[in-house]
Amino acid sequence: MLARNRVPERMDDPALPAAEHDHALRGLARLNAISRSHRLLWPRLRTLARRSSRPLHVLDVASGAADLPVRLDRVARSVGVSLQWILSDRSPHALDHALARARSAGLDCQAVRVDAVQDPLPPADVVMNSLFLHHFDHEDATRILRGMRQAARLAVGVTDLRRTRLALGLVWLGSRLVTRSPVVHHDATASVRAAHAPADIRDMAERAGMHGASIEVADPVRWRLWWTPEGNMAT
């Protein structure tokens, strides 16, 4: 495993010009699309939604370009599953971008500006995030997971990057194939180098109160965490 090296990512810079930010968001959405990242959480969301007598409420933490909710919602509708979305981000520009894209795709959604490290999250049936925890040190990542646990009525789902040479090579190549954005080129590989080790993920989940969480390798690039409160049926 590579040594962890966390450096500032360019998309997190509030001074990043809006045009560059939008270019990067579009590039990141294409990168997530070719990796089919939505498949990592979809089977579990589908199971919960089919057990519910009403649309499943899903909070997406740090929505970015909303590409994950858009793709999950498209798959859900194709099989007759109804989802209601809360998109959240601390960046007003990213949140405006996410809401516009989600509504143009026909999502039943609302948007909430929230800093997941410092602010309480709005309650939802399922609270999820993707490609987010690697931005933070151990303590702040634990705070985020704790907030997600407290907000979730049924489940928490998280996916993020593995810190391996294979993941680094695949992300380097993929980012350059799908976009010319230098922001994405920098941030994609920086994200892999900043990813948390499996033992740290397990420790953070335990400290956040997610006892018994399922944490597993999902594909060559990503890991997946899924947790349900005691008494709710796990998937």
Q: How many angstroms separate the CA atoms of 57 and 109, rounded?
A: 9
Considering the domain boundaries, does residue 166 fall inside one?
yes
Phi, psi (rounded to 5 degrees) for 155: -165, 160
Considering the domain boundaries, does residue 4 fall inside one?
no
Considering the domain boundaries, does residue 187 fall inside one?
yes
Considering the domain boundaries, does residue 60 fall inside one?
yes
The parent domain of residue 144 ranges over 17-227
DSSP 27-70: HHHHHHHHTTGGGGTHHHHHHHHHH-SSPEEEEESS-TT-HHHH
Its pTM stands at: 0.91
Considering the domain boundaries, does residue 88 fall inside one?
yes
Q: What is the DSSP letter of 220?
A: S
Task: Return the CA Rg of the chain.
Answer: 17
Local confidence pLDDT in tens for the 235 residues of the chain: 899 999 989 988 889 998 998 898 888 888 877 777 788 999 999 999 999 989 999 999 999 889 899 999 999 999 999 999 999 999 898 899 899 999 999 999 999 999 999 999 999 999 999 999 999 999 999 999 999 999 999 999 999 999 999 999 999 999 999 999 999 999 999 999 999 999 999 999 999 999 999 999 999 999 999 999 974 444 4
Q: How many angstroms separate the CA atoms of 227 and 214, rounded?
A: 6
CATH number, domain at 122?
A: 3.40.50.150
Task: Tell me how many domains the chain contains.
Answer: 1
Q: How many angstroms separate the CA atoms of 72 and 212, rounded?
A: 26
Considering the domain boundaries, does residue 8 fall inside one?
no
Report CA 181 to chain centroid distance, whole Å: 21
Q: How many angstroms separate the CA atoms of 195 and 187, rounded?
A: 12
Considering the domain boundaries, does residue 232 fall inside one?
no
Backbone CA torsion sign across 96, 100, 105, 110: positive
Considering the domain boundaries, does residue 234 fall inside one?
no
The tokens for 106 are 């026909």
